[in-house]
Amino acid sequence: MKNIVILISGGGSNMAAIVKAAQREDWRGRYGAQIAAVISNKAQAGGLRFAQDHAIATAVLDHTAYASREAFDDALAAQIGAYDSHQQPVLVVLAGFMRILSAGFVDQFKGRLLNIHPSLLPAFPGLHTHQRALDAGCQFVGATVHQVTAELDHGPILEQAVVPVLPGDTADWLAARVLTQEHVIYPRAIARWLAGAV
């Protein structure tokens, strides 16, 4: 069985959408894949409760307890490694995981590390994407699912969703509308990855 480990830092609505899609479309039967665990770097992340309610293993690794980025990433990699097997390397899905990952971590999970970012990459990597798009006068915003490489918010693109900017839009309204599209494209991108179509 191929294990999927989802990393979160907050509300986990993307994680919830992925869990629901996996159940609805039975990724276990179709791809031999299951959501094995949800790991958060924040104990108060709201998404942990959803995972527990869906009988998914959860773990918290508080990054503030580690002396360096590398030390945290090593501990995280070890935790994820518990779901790895030689024949079936784990797929790691970043879903609102608000940590920059070290080059060593990215290299260890190369080709099996996915992220969703709330902009139409390569535009607006980093934070405050919707406000920056509004400030730039963009007429369209969106979200991108991509493979993670050592460069922040770069890497091969799997899926994008485009959302029009409406008159009077605020960053919060845009974020909410984009998030609903994230919930569509992330499960679909993972399914395509599992099917070997990426």
Q: Which of 13, 40, 102, 181 binds ligand GAR (CB under 6 A)?
A: 13
Please indicate whether residue 117 is annotated as part of the active site.
Answer: yes
Q: Phi and psi for 184 in degrees, rounded to 5?
A: -85, -50
Q: E strands of the chain, at which residues?
A: 2-8, 33-40, 57-60, 91-94, 113-117, 140-147, 157-164
User: Nearest approach, Cβ of 29 to ligand GAR (angstroms)?
Assistant: 26
| Cα 1 from Cα 90, distance rounded (Å) | 9
Q: Choose between 63 and 82: whose C-beta lies nearer to ligand GAR.
A: 63
187 binds ligand GAR (CB under 6 A): no
Residues in region 102-161 near ligand GAR by CB under 6 A: 116-118, 143
Residue 89 interacts with ligand GAR (CB under 6 A)?
Answer: no
Please pick, among 117, 130, 146, 183, the residue that the annotation labels catalytic: 117
**First-residue to last-residue Cα distance in the chain:** 19
State yes or no: residue 182 binds ligand GAR (CB under 6 A): yes
In this structure, is the dihedral angle defined by the CA atoms of residues 96, 99, 100 and 106, taken in order, positive or negative? negative
Q: Where in the sequence numbering do the catalytic residues fall?
A: 117
